[in-house]
Chains A and B, each alone.
Chain A
């Protein structure tokens, strides 16, 4: 049996009178790609924000590798090994591609001020390790030739890939992608598909995905959770979901 990486139980998020997320529970095991789907405004991103600590959930529990993480500040949660992207690209647009990847490794490099001022050997070693890791991932996402360009000047698809690379250099255990295929053309979506599968297969990182592109979702997901108006509607393998009458109703409306 595989180990559970992320365990969410009865998650609730209330904004004033609005119950945005109601009793959502989900599990992500190691070596899995899990998708969350649902109509617009269903509360998918709110679930993401709760898990990654950007919101403090009003109810329920979140455990990561059996450690409770609900209520922790966002940066601590990400240090446990859960890193996310956003619906809109959030790169450091005036920094170069490679610098974006270096910033992401902030907690891996030697941040001791004196070590940096005098360039101690350990500082140099850590810096060059960070540079190597950045180079590796630039190569992996095919942005090597754009390494020294400002991130803001890259094409949209390239920015999307750089964002994933930026998450991966932090060496996470769970990668959370919020609509990574939004705005990509079919070719780029296929590349993304391959990249996500490779992240799971070659680096043993689980992926939690929010996506509207059903082709992508059905093709790569191990399991799918469907959320509608903040409440869980169904969950199961892609085939089960495809044939679930409730899901069809939620998406297409009642006939």
Chain B
């Protein structure tokens, strides 16, 4: 008798106990009463198969593990494409970056409207991922309520526009600033907490913001949300009838007084895809700015301090580093990027409601960061692309989305626990 037999029998029993009430029994309505009936023969076959599979897998687990061990050692052959030489590596990375930017710039002119629209969504998630990456990846603070700052950004544009008529370009910095302020206000009391406690408080904060937006009906419209948020305009100079700066709108007709439709200004035929392209380009510019800023931050004293604080907090304190201020800076800067992203999201959608800012959003953004590799910019971008595009591509399997999600997470933990592209911190080298 193999040693695995008792355990295999036990797991088979558990499988049966779990699947039997779910698949093997059926509730049938007879008049006003519910009666319990046995399931279809097909369902019973499935249960039998499941039990058998689990039993056999557990029984022959050592043999299976032995067979797949060879497979696993062959899997991670991917990272070795990069040469070992650091300088050469940096050069290659720079080339890859420029090629990516080039492709991203040409992309809207060479693909369909739907693809550009999807790419814009991807860019929003890239921005959110990069922003959260500062907090989680660089400063090592687990934030489960990041979506709150996203919501603050989105609602600040929507509300500022509704009540004060502010344009997108005026609201963008204000949205970022407001989100940063919220980050600061939240961070101040909670950053003395560690790890798990911080995660729980931020989780709560995310929910508070959402529930507040949901219930403050007189201002935010509650669950009905806010609609009719104008799209961004392109500032241009008009010479006729008089010299003035006007906003170019991308609709067929200008909705706001003083604005001019884009196609009329340039004297070209109206095309609805201009609007999508324009949104895409704004998103791309925002992402590029984000990438640049974070790249600088990592090389600046504050970036070094984040890293040091993650490594040894006590040593930092002994050297005169104010840990609260440093953590707060990460929290605030991270939040401001969510604010920018939210502002843009509101402008793109034209309609926002608390629905868009549920916990699952926070979870997805966090998944992007973890999947990509904490602290790694390229990794986060790649993960954002995957996480946004895959569900769109595999629409037929939408019901299995969460299942796939879990599966991918498990596989990643085994295969590449440090993320798709593990972080390589830019090290300051001393010229010798």
Contact = CB atoms under 8 A, between A and B. Distances in A.
B320 A107 contact: yes
A74 B322 CA distance: 9
A90 B425 CA distance: 20
B428 A102 contact: yes
B318 A99 contact: no
Contact of A96 (B301, B302, B322, B427): B427
A103 interface: yes
A102 B304 contact: yes
Interface string A120-152: 000000010001001100100000110110000
Contacts of A147: 430, 432
B428 A75 contact: no
Interface stretch (B2-10, B305-313, B407-415): B305-313
Scoring A90, A91, A106, A170 by chain B CB atoms within 10 A of each residue's CB, the highest score goes to: A106
B302 to A, nearest CB: 6
A98 B319 contact: no
Contact of B301 (A75, A84, A109): A109
Given A98-B428, A116-B301, A92 B320 contact: no
B393 interface: no
Given A75-B323, A91-B312, A98 B318 contact: no
Interface string A78-94: 11000111100011111
A252 interface: no
Contacts of A79: 320
A106 B321 contact: yes
Contacts of B312: 90-92
Contacts of B307: 92, 94-95, 103
Contacts of B318: 52, 54, 74, 78, 83-86, 90
B320 A102 contact: no
Q: Chain B interface residue count: which class?
A: 20 to 34
Interface residues of A, number: 43
B317 interface: yes
Contacts of B425: 94-95
A111 interface: yes
B296 A117 contact: yes
Interface string A211-222: 000000000000
B315 interface: yes
Contacts of B317: 54, 74-75, 78
Given A95-B311, A98-B428, A148-B429, A111 B301 contact: yes
A95 B429 CA distance: 11
B58 to A, nearest CB: 40
A116 B300 contact: yes
Contacts of A107: 320-321
Given A75-B323, A95-B307, A117 B293 contact: yes
Interface in A24-38: none
A200 interface: no
Nearest to B304: A103
A94 B430 contact: no
Interface of B: 293, 296-297, 300-302, 304-305, 307-308, 311-312, 314-323, 329, 333, 425, 427-430, 432
Q: Which A-B residue pairs are the 10 nearest by beta carbons?
A: A116-B300, A78-B320, A90-B315, A147-B430, A103-B308, A92-B311, A79-B320, A74-B317, A98-B430, A104-B319
Given A95-B311, A96-B429, A127-B301, 11 more contacts: A52-B318, A75-B319, A75-B320, A86-B314, A92-B311, A92-B312, A96-B428, A99-B428, A111-B302, A135-B430, A148-B432
Interface of A: 52, 54, 74-76, 78-79, 83-86, 90-96, 98-99, 102-104, 106-107, 109-111, 113, 116-117, 127, 131, 134-135, 138, 144-145, 147-148, 166-167, 170
8 contacts: A92-B308, A93-B311, A96-B428, A106-B305, A106-B321, A111-B302, A116-B300, A135-B430
